[in-house]
Structure 1
């Protein structure tokens, strides 16, 4: 999203950076936001990182060819995806650079990229523990829980618990997966009016996402994956409504906000 009505919440498609207590770098998804991240990592001289993917829809992979570290021979990337859910991750990424869609071929990459699978398995990056859960989304996908030193962050984008997509899980299972997290960032793309037309598209009613956060007893809930037509003013209204509903549910202490480009959360 761009334009005057999208200044607060508009911007790039999905790319998250997680820095651990030991200063390890984990990148989640390669939407258009990964371009600016790559520029910063190059400026910082960082050459070792871990990449995870939630799924392979365009808005989560289209930035990969513009990620400068992949053209540097000093870069080493441990790249994780779920072959059963997404197909071969290396093949999928290489297609983003295939002619006639991109002028530089995948074979031109100079980074050392090690492709590894993660399908319901636990993995560790230093002291950071990562667990995954299948998303309820067309063509599947993975949500993640990150835990380190007693702190936890759950990321469930492109998830529709109210509609059972093949391979997905129930709302109760997502609540259990998120239980007690310090931060839950969950897909909250639709209003009731939207959902009348988009049920089954793989995204959540914002009130369903809030309900999941309340049942999971999380510390803070962030609305994520904003609809491209949702203005700043409309998103503020959604956040205010979530705040009212959380207060009415007896959770006035739970943080509620909408995720925004360049948002930083310290745990």
Structure 2
């Protein structure tokens, strides 16, 4: 059984306050646990701090870390990932190129003076950077496929397949504008075809998107169209706008469900909150 837990779904910058208590304020971090027990982490946004505390409590000492891209909200929690301070921990980090800089060098840069007082080499964990964690690969019982995302500077989306169940993660992916390296709307429809679960960037309403086109994020209407054309079973809106309150997000989901009902669609739509767990 594949287990998925969201430790952070907020976009751009972490937020706090009572108005964000339902969906949470931490930025992107997803934990995927394979049937065979491997722990796979997607992105090191601020949510990875809480994930790290949980992994310590659970006594889990080996994990794989993948990245969608290297914008601040997807890497800014790495220095506060507590397991890195333990010599019992082994972590395999995907090593790939981000606009001319590889993951190892990128993390070294963000964890050096004057940005941070402790460098990567000061950490006690056994850290390996692995170029094999790219394109198509397996981690335990999970088969993982990737697709370039449509975002300034590029990025990667992921498909996780285990025992005929599938989960696609496409954050920071703009469906209404073609950035260099993107695969186009039809490419993402094909990649997401008939998946059991899709988490997709849903940063903007239709009206907001008119002012933010080419910023690298999707309108919720475009995401619904993608999910319908791909015959997705469940859709989770992700990369929640930094200013979107719980009440506003609830209203958006009500409107989405009403629109789907008018189309006689069985698609299940929700916004992804911090701490959501899905097992299948």
Q: Same fold (TM over 0.5)?
A: yes
- Partner of 1:201, secondary structure, is coil
Shift of residue 85 of structure 1? 5.2
Structure with the bigger RCO (C-alpha within 8 Å, sep 6+) is: 2
Q: Is the 8 A contact 1:189 1:224 kept in 2?
A: yes
CA distance in 2, matches of 1:86, 1:59: 20
Q: Are 1:79 and 2:108 matched, yes or no?
A: no
Shift of residue 60 of structure 1? 0.2
Q: Which moved more, 1:207-216 or 1:192-201?
A: 192-201
Shift of residue 51 of structure 1? 0.8
Q: Are 1:97 and 2:118 matched, yes or no?
A: no
Q: Are 1:246 and 2:265 matched, yes or no?
A: no
Q: Report the number of matched residues.
A: 266
With structure 1 as the length reference, what TM-score do the two structures score?
Answer: 0.96
Shift of residue 101 of structure 1? 1.6
The runs of 5 or more residues in structure 1 that have no matched partner are none
Q: Deviations over 1:184-217 (max 9, x none)?
A: 0000000123212211110000111111111110
Q: Are 1:162 and 2:180 matched, yes or no?
A: no
Q: Is the 8 A contact 1:136 1:160 kept in 2?
A: yes
1:50 counterpart (64, 76, 86) = 64
CA distance in 2, matches of 1:134, 1:119: 14
2:236 match: 222
Cα RMSD (Å) = 1.4
Q: Are 1:36 and 2:71 matched, yes or no?
A: no
| Distance 1:14-1:175 versus aligned 2 partners, 3 A rule | same
| Distance 1:10-1:44 versus aligned 2 partners, 3 A rule | closer
1:265 match: 278
1:114 counterpart (102, 118, 128) = 128
| Distance 1:77-1:228 versus aligned 2 partners, 3 A rule | same
Shift of residue 68 of structure 1? 1.1
Q: Which moved more, 1:54-63 or 1:39-48?
A: 39-48
CA distance in 1, matches of 2:130, 2:260: 40
The runs of 5 or more residues in structure 2 that have no matched partner are 1-14
Q: Is the 8 A contact 2:94 2:133 kept in 1?
A: no
CA distance in 1, matches of 2:193, 2:139: 22
1:192 match: 206
